[in-house]
């Protein structure tokens, strides 16, 4: 799916979800905003040129992530340049409990990486793939399970984890990406 179609679908998922905070809307027109003082290109640039993000947008309940607003992109990078594996082309676009999702903007498709305690691993070949898959996972969480994904002891229900993994296997190009997705969201 093209990045434009992925953004439309993703904004619709955000709008239809009962588990959102803040504002996330798609704009047909390129947003008029201050220049981003980072080496940002490709799909991640298209994301920030066409998504209105305000008030710390968060999507998801158990699968929640908080999206980084355009004016916070530079600040979120503080400290990351101390990591010897860090590249200037990495753009952090979301976080979850201090772990982050980032794109490599040196590639026009903006592949997505997860970073748990500064240990990075690839999750998808493009930002559009990530947004499509994440939208599908939110639907599994909210529509199929009604948000009821854990037992009384706060352990994930096995059928929920199996269904998430099934969705990932159906949509990701490698078993490694499936494992990385599962690790980022479920440890």
Q: Is the predicted pLDDT of residue 35 greater than 90, yes or no?
A: no
- Among 161, 169, 174, residue whose Cα is nearest residue 125: 174
Domains of the chain with bracketed CATH: 3-186 (3.40.1580)
Torsion of Cα atoms, 142 then 146 then 151 then 156, to 10°? -20
| pLDDT above 80 (res 34) | no
Share of the chain above pLDDT 70, in %: 99
Q: CA 148 to CA 68: how far, in whole Å?
A: 27
Q: For the chain, what is the total number of helices (H) and then of strands (E)?
A: 5, 7
pLDDT for res 108? 97
CB of 131 closer than 8 Å to CB of 155: no
Mean pLDDT value of segment 6-11: 96
More confident of the two residues 84 and 137: 137
Question: For the chain, what percent of residues have pLDDT higher than 90?
Answer: 84
Residue 92 host element (H or E): strand 90-96
Tell me what pLDDT residue 80 has. 83
Concatenated DSSP letters for 45-91?
A: HHHHHHEEEEEEEEE-STT-EEEPPGGGTTGGGTTGGGSTT--TTEE
Mean of per-residue pLDDT scores for the chain: 94
Return the residue matching tokens 């066409």. Answer: 50
Residue 37 is predicted with a pLDDT of 83
Q: 69 is written with which tokens?
A: 């607003």
Q: Structure pTM?
A: 0.94
pLDDT at residue number 79: 83
In whole angstroms, what is the distance from residue 91 CA to residue 154 CA? 33
Question: Tell me: the pLDDT tens digits for 132-150?
Answer: 999 999 999 999 999 999 9
Q: What is the pLDDT of residues 98-125, one digit of tens each?
A: 999 999 999 999 999 999 988 899 999 9
**Position 5 pLDDT exceeds 90:** yes
User: Looking at residue 97, what is its pLDDT?
Assistant: 92
Q: Within 13 Å of residue 177, how many CA atoms lie on the same side as its CB?
A: 20
């Amino acid at each position: 799916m093209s990045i434009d179609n992925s953004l439309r679908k993703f904004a619709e998922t955000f709008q239809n979800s009962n588990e959102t905070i803040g504002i996330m809307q798609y704009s047909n027109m390129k947003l008029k905003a201050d220049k981003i003082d980072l080496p940002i290109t490709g799909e991640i640039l298209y994301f920030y040129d066409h998504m209105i993000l305000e008030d710390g947008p968060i999507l998801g309940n158990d699968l929640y992530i908080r999206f980084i607003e355009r004016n916070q992109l530079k600040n979120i990078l503080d400290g990351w340049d101390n990591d010897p594996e860090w590249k200037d082309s990495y753009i952090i676009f979301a976080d979850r409990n201090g772990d982050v999702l980032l794109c490599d903007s040196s590639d026009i498709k903006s592949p997505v990486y997860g970073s748990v305690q500064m240990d990075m691993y690839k999750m998808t070949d493009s930002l559009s793939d990530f947004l499509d898959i994440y939208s599908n996972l939110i639907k599994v969480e909210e529509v199929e399970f009604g948000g009821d994904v854990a037992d009384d002891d706060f352990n994930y229900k096995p059928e929920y984890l199996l269904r998430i993994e099934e969705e990932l296997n159906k949509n990701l190009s490698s078993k490694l990406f499936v494992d990385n997705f599962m690790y980022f969201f479920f440890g």
